[in-house]
Structure 1
């Protein structure tokens, strides 16, 4: 069966919070009051909520690579301080048991992130909470998984106590060079290159009561989450995902429909059909992303125009200049001079 093209969306607020966390972490700055927000407890407008999950995972990977923080996702999870009234903090504050909190988490996770499978599974004397992102082929998902599962572990420990322990953790991502930090944060063995990303634990944990349980607040909180649940199928964000993919693909010489289809886990024919269904034309979108990337490179780097043309896949600088002039009504050199000069007051 052909893989279904659905790329999830995280809320714009959650994206802002993660970016804010990285801003401080990458500078080794942690606010003294630990004033980092968690996932939002409100549903943003549909227009604001369509930040590509594909783009978010790549943002984390890029930030980790550029900063040299090989464990950025873990750092973010550990810096997200204190209980909150988010979907994580709220459920583990008010639910009567760990099992009820995890069941509600699996049900209401689409409130904060779609395109994700969250499921509580019990069989053969074991239990696990699965967190899998749909259709991120070719994308480094380690930092997102570490961030999400790390936050969940912190919520569990706040609700149950420090004596609680995992059996092990599985991550559907290649093993990093250093694995010790993951074992230290999760306090359990961590298996990489697994089929599923999941927390594994004893079924007995599910019946363990939560010290701060409040049945009335739990019912109110679940009713609040129920109202925020997406109505039916969330609109697909293929164009947003393609844009995020193209930004990287054009600079790697892979910006073709065949490569896009391979990275999204479908055949080129299926990709063409889905694009047609959503009235998206691959080549015009690619041309627009190329020009937007060119504008960024001209204004933010000192690369020669010839080198920028080469990085964006143009066979000749003159072809790049013609395309850029057609898009902006300026030559690359004139655009750079205007960008460097800044606005005229």
Structure 2
């Protein structure tokens, strides 16, 4: 057994003590070493965790559940308060797979690199909820997709960059630090310091893509994982499943619909028919279930656009002229009219006012 792996018996005892902590968000192992890393970049860890609604004590227990919105917020808040716009990128690049707890060991104990990717993709829903992860066969390459789909999370750039960095490090564990994917894709707009992304992934990085993805050449993926251990792999897979064996929270029709609406906005005006079909429902059924929640489909679309508009306006690298198509509007004038209806001011005035409040907050 390789040195970095704890004995299977010790890990089993540790996990058994925490089996009752059902995961409803993301396992706290995904924040290993976070407080120390925040301090390295000049951030106040206690303040940032407090603002983000995270109890520091929870981060001491790898199988404790942390709310996914809170987890994503802590990275966005750190990037803002520390002035390090690439905080998530740097955190992910230094994150070792073994620090990821159960999910990390599932990858490390797999037989080959290819099997590690398959096993991690299969186990990921137990590690993190309300998210998409899949391994897609694209011919000469695999495409490893990752996407947060929690309706309450809009700002998720930092999480995307750190998550792809962790997967990248899992592969580098077998191939060495110089291994590089064919390309890297991110959903969010290109940040100012995007050259660091290319340097750290050692690959072309494309922004504004449909999904966060690593494009991984299949050549040599049959290489053996250095810590391959079939017995420990079985223990890890069983343990992560047990964390999710309790009664599931029933799906929320409003949240599920908002996720689908956000995706379709990138292609134009969302329609009830298309959204219902993507959810495996009839139009009448979806409309009825939304009305039962007091939120008709047209109101839900309008609310989702409003939330996204304010999020995009806080991304300074994103010109206002480019917002309309991101919100499903065919013309900028339609977006401007909608924005004035929501806030009584133009998008430009809203951004200026928000910027002045931010500067005042920093000064005080």
Q: Name the residue aligned to 2:164.
A: 149
Q: Name the residue aligned to 1:124.
A: 139
Q: Match of 1:210, SS?
A: coil
Q: Name the residue aligned to 1:203.
A: 218
Q: Distance in 1 between matches of 2:240 and 2:183?
A: 30
Q: Distance in 2 between matches of 1:268 and 1:64?
A: 39
If you compute each CA radius of gyration, which structure gives the higher value, 1 or 2? 1
What's the CA shift for 1:88? 4.3
What's the CA shift for 1:12? 6.6
Q: Distance in 2 between matches of 1:213 and 1:16?
A: 25
Q: Is the 8 A contact 2:28 2:62 kept in 1?
A: no
* 1:222/1:196 CA distance change after superposition, 3 Å: same
Structure 1 segment 77-116 matched on structure 2, within 5 A = 77-81=92-96, 83-84=98-99, 86-116=101-131
Structure 1 segment 50-61 matched on structure 2, within 5 A = 51=67, 53-61=68-76
What's the CA shift for 1:122? 0.3
What's the CA shift for 1:124? 2.8
Structure 1 segment 221-232 matched on structure 2, within 5 A = 221-230=236-245
Q: How many residue pairs get matched? A: 233
Greater RCO (CA < 8 Å, at least 6 residues apart) = 1
What's the CA shift for 1:268? 11
Q: Which runs of 5+ in 1 are unaligned?
A: 1-7, 30-36, 241-266, 277-312, 314-345
Q: Name the residue aligned to 2:84.
A: 69
Which is worse superposed, 204-213 or 150-159?
204-213
Structure 1 segment 27-38 matched on structure 2, within 5 A = 27=42
TM-score, with length taken from structure 2:
0.54
What's the CA shift for 1:115? 0.2
Q: Is the 8 A contact 1:94 1:214 kept in 2?
A: yes
Once the two structures are superposed, residues 206-249 of structure 1 have per-residue CA deviations (whole angstroms, 9 ceiling, x without a partner) of 32221221222222222222323455744558999xxxxxxxxx
TM-score, with length taken from structure 1:
0.57
Q: Distance in 1 between matches of 2:245 and 2:168?
A: 26
Q: Which runs of 5+ in 2 are unaligned?
A: 1-22, 45-57, 256-285, 296-342, 344-364
What's the CA shift for 1:103? 1.2
Candidates 188, 206, 229, aligned match of 1:191: 206
Once the two structures are superposed, residues 25-50 of structure 1 have per-residue CA deviations (whole angstroms, 9 ceiling, x without a partner) of 33279xxxxxxx999653x3xxxx36
* 1:176/1:163 CA distance change after superposition, 3 Å: closer
Q: Match of 2:107, SS?
A: helix
